[in-house]
Structure 1
Amino acid sequence: MKLPHRHRHLFREPVGDLIPEGKTGRDRIVEIVAGAAAVVTVGDRTTEKVLKYGILPDIQIVDGVERRTRRTAPGGAVETITCANPPAHITAEAVSAVASAYEAGRPVRILVTGEEDLLLVPALARAPAGAILMYGQPGEGLVVVRADERSKEKARRLMALLEG
């Protein structure tokens, strides 16, 4: 499914709480994820930061690219699931990879060929209540999303905007 140009602005707005770049230190992140039903990171830099802080996310969604520059995907997962997901899309294969990662019951990395940015949406829609999802907002900081009925409904509404 493809994100039409007319709806792209809706996906640029933070889905959760934006924490400015200078305030995303280890203690703050550890406090945020304490007691979470699951921890999900979307993006290479976000995943790398969380791993550096000694937190192993339950699900890491990465593509080996940061700001259009190829990089080595961060380490730290027990199992890797690969999927294809072109820019501005959410493919059935990617949605299936997210579902498989949640069902695995152990830390999993989803390595995306293409672009991982929009995969926050199916990850949030599928997340258990009480999960914490994190992704980077370029040039601004870290977005933290708490999975609850309101945020999951927002994810479902965003998914409904995709075409194809």
Structure 2
Amino acid sequence: MLTLPTALRAAFKEPFGPIYTEAEALLADASSEETNAPLVAVGDVVTFYLRRAGRAPDVAVVDGKTKREAVGDEIRRAVETGRLVEVTNEPGTISRDLVAALVDALAADEPTTLLVEGEEDLATLPAVLAAPLGSTIVYGQPNEGMVRVTVDEAAKTEMRDLLSQFDGDVDAVLAPIEA
């Protein structure tokens, strides 16, 4: 397991890409870049808005919460669809189980929702590393909107650099991506 050090928390205050308040605009920009690449959503509310805009993510990573509070029934019902896979990931960490589940979900032939027991807030980092080039990762920026990350070599390098500063065995946790 990797643990986010307190000193690194500030690195996550700034978004890793452009912020959108409308899912339709985000999807229009994402589809203009790469039409067949996977769309990965990290967060219940983000997943809900993407689905409501007509595009179910290929992979959704949800934990039943938004801003540390339980999501409402409408959101919960909307996001817990498709192939459901349960995974454990403690708050402030990235578990090998989460990374392995992301890799498996990206390889699946059907949309997959990862139901995280714990917290999915840091799942964007391994999602960028696991997703193929051209993919889009979307996550929520609290009180601002949805952030779109286009998976390219620069994004992969940025995420790996951040993860290298986490406490724990980075190579062991990321081993499912390298396999």
TM-score scaled by length of structure 1: 0.91
Aligned to 1:14: 15
Aligned to 1:32: 29
Pairs within 5 Å for 1:122-137: 122-137=126-141
Structure 2 distance, partners of 1:102, 1:75, is 17
Conservation of the 8 A alpha-carbon contact between 1:36 and 1:132: no
- Give the partner amino acid of 1:40: V
Aligned to 1:49: 49
Structure 1 unaligned residues grouped into runs of 5+: none
Runs of 4 or more, structure 1, over 4 Å off, are: none
Conservation of the 8 A alpha-carbon contact between 1:81 and 1:109: yes
Is 2:94 aligned against 1:97?
no
SS of the aligned residue for 2:79 comes to: coil
The percent of aligned pairs where both chains have the same amino acid is 34
Structure 2 unaligned residues grouped into runs of 5+: 169-179
TM-score scaled by length of structure 2: 0.84
SS of the aligned residue for 1:123 comes to: helix
SS of the aligned residue for 1:40 comes to: strand
Aligned to 2:176: none
Pairs within 5 Å for 1:75-86: 75=79, 77-86=81-90
SS of the aligned residue for 1:118 comes to: coil
- Give the partner amino acid of 1:95: V
SS of the aligned residue for 2:48 comes to: helix
SS of the aligned residue for 2:123 comes to: helix
Question: Which one of the candidate residues 105, 110, 120 is aligned to 1:116?
Answer: 120
- Give the partner amino acid of 1:101: A
By how many angstroms is 1:32 displaced?
Answer: 2.1
Conservation of the 8 A alpha-carbon contact between 2:57 and 2:111: yes
By how many angstroms is 1:52 displaced?
Answer: 0.3
**Over aligned residues, Cα RMSD in angstroms?**
1.4
* Length, aligned pairs only: 160
SS of the aligned residue for 1:128 comes to: coil
Conservation of the 8 A alpha-carbon contact between 1:124 and 1:147: yes
